[in-house]
Amino acid sequence: MSWLSKLKQKTYSLQVRFFAFSLLLAIIPIITIISVSYNQYRSALKIRVSETNFNTVKQKADNIDFILSDVKASSLFLLQNSELLR
**Domain boundaries defined on the chain:** 9-85
- Evaluate whether 84 touches 78 at the Cβ level (below 8 Å): yes
pLDDT for position 7: 61
pLDDT tens for 23-77 read: 999 999 999 999 999 999 999 999 999 999 999 999 999 999 999 999 999 888 8
Say yes or no to pLDDT of 11 above 90.
no
pLDDT for position 79: 82
DSSP notation for 28-75:
HHHHHHHHHHHHHHHHHHHHHHHHHHHHHHHHHHHHHHHHHHHHHHHH
pLDDT tens for 54-66 read: 999 999 999 999 9
pLDDT for position 85: 60
